[in-house]
Amino acid sequence: MSPAPILKEVKVFAPATVANVACGYDVLGFAIDSPGDEVVVRHSDKPGLRITKITGDDGKLPKTVEGNTAGVAALDLLRHLGMMDRGIEMEIHKKMPFGSGLGSSAASAVAGAYAVNKLIGEPLSKKQLLPFAMTGEASADGAYHADNVGPSLLGGIVFIRSNQELDIAQLPVPENLWAAVVHPDIEILTKVAREILPKHIPIENATQQIGNLGGLICGIIQEDYGMISRSIHDVIAEPHRQKLIPEFYKAKRAALSNGALGFSISGAGPSVFALCEGEEVAKNVANAVSKVFTDIKLENQMHVSKINQKGVHVIS
């Protein structure tokens, strides 16, 4: 016999994320405060999981559970728990753009799994929800990497030793580390951004990238902003993906000249990000980068945030 429901309804928020963090392709990501996705779930007398409402998607997302990342993640969780007949209604409120490089599909998957887990009495911990959220995100783009799902679920800065084994670790967050994220209003599909990457990497580039990733992790752990700054360099993906983002290098120069520790592409793009020491620097950097896009008549949105250490959570 199933336990009695603890809550009638649960509403959760899953934050956007910055994946790769320049030199950490598919193995490093962090969460920001906004934007993000909201999911509401409630009990239903009708058996099974159903998506009853979606907002903010301009009609792009399917309401079929099997065709939606939030639905797939929640369904995978219920299947694992042997609760496929549990009656649950789900609402999805998209509050971030598609193809933005900010982990939109990951946020929905995380929110779906977390909300349902809460509704049924929280049988699993946050970290135990990771494979179900991963299944949800993978249903959208076919890729299986936790650099968006991990930080959206757990919060903070997440390093993934192995995506196949989902062997992940949360790094300590430097007290005064801020992110300046700017999203230009163009859409870049992850599939396209992956297709333009080289199939083979020169050994000297691989060595340099490994050194930068190690240096960035050391800088984060030791709160060494100088080391962070020297390490935020991507010699593998950025040189190829930058051509998809108008005036990328001009934006990068604007960020660095205004005090950014480093600047690169968020995930597959087109969003770009800078890590900064302090809120004032982050605001100045965001404004400078935004102006580069505005000057070429490209609409854009700014998000200035400390590293979000909460991850997905219940909201009222």
Residues 23 and 156 in one domain: yes
Angle at CA of residue 205, ends 202 and 207, nearest 5°:
110
Task: Tell me what the pLDDT averaged over the chain comes to.
Answer: 95
User: For position 132, which CATH number holds?
Assistant: 3.30.230.10
User: For position 218, which CATH number holds?
Assistant: 3.30.70.890
Contact in structure between 77 and 124 (CB atoms under 8 Å)? yes
Residues 163 and 202 in one domain: no
| Residue 62, amino acid | P
Q: What is the pLDDT of residues 7-52, one digit of tens each?
A: 899 999 999 999 999 999 999 999 999 999 999 999 999 999 999 9
Residue 221 lies inside a defined structural domain of this protein: yes
Note down the domain range covering 247: 177-306
Residue 4 lies inside a defined structural domain of this protein: no
Distance of CA 16 to the CA centre of its chain: 5
Q: How far apart are CA 146 and CA 231, in angstroms?
A: 21
Residues 186 and 289 in one domain: yes
In the prediction, which pLDDT does 254 show? 98
Cβ neighbors of 57 (< 8 A, separation 6 or more) are 92, 94, 98
Q: Tell me how crowded residue 37 is: count the other CB atoms within 10 A of its CB.
A: 29
Residue 48 lies inside a defined structural domain of this protein: yes
Active-site option among 17, 135, 190, 277: 190
Contact in structure between 32 and 308 (CB atoms under 8 Å)? yes
Residue 2 lies inside a defined structural domain of this protein: no
| Helix and strand counts by DSSP (H, E) for the chain | 10, 11
Phi–psi pair at 125, nearest 5 degrees: -75, 165
Please compute the mean of the pLDDT values over residues 169-179 and round it to a whole number.
Answer: 97
Q: Which residues of 266-287 are buried (b: 16+ CB within 10 A; e: fewer)?
A: bbbbbbbbbbbbeeebbbbbbb
Q: How many domains does the chain have?
A: 2
In the prediction, which pLDDT does 192 show? 81
137 is catalytic: yes
Contact in structure between 151 and 170 (CB atoms under 8 Å)? no
| Residue 12, amino acid | V
Active-site option among 69, 91, 135, 137: 137
Residues in the chain: 316
pTM score above 0.85: yes
Confidence of residue 4 (pLDDT cuts 50, 70, 90): very low
| Residue 242, amino acid | Q
Please compute the mean of the pLDDT values over residues 123-148 and round it to a whole number.
Answer: 92
Cβ neighbors of 279 (< 8 A, separation 6 or more) are 178, 304, 306
In the prediction, which pLDDT does 190 show? 77
Residue 203 lies inside a defined structural domain of this protein: yes
Residue 188 above 90 pLDDT? no
122 is catalytic: no
Contact in structure between 65 and 50 (CB atoms under 8 Å)? yes
Residues 159 and 123 in one domain: yes
Residues 155 and 243 in one domain: no
Residues 193 and 298 in one domain: yes
Residue 299 lies inside a defined structural domain of this protein: yes
DSSP 8-state symbol, 140: H
DSSP 8-state symbol, 127: G
Residues 282 and 139 in one domain: no
Please compute the mean of the pLDDT values over residues 222-246 and round it to a whole number.
Answer: 97
Contact in structure between 40 and 55 (CB atoms under 8 Å)? no
Residues 239 and 302 in one domain: yes
Please state, for a pLDDT cut of 90, what percent of the chain lies above it: 89
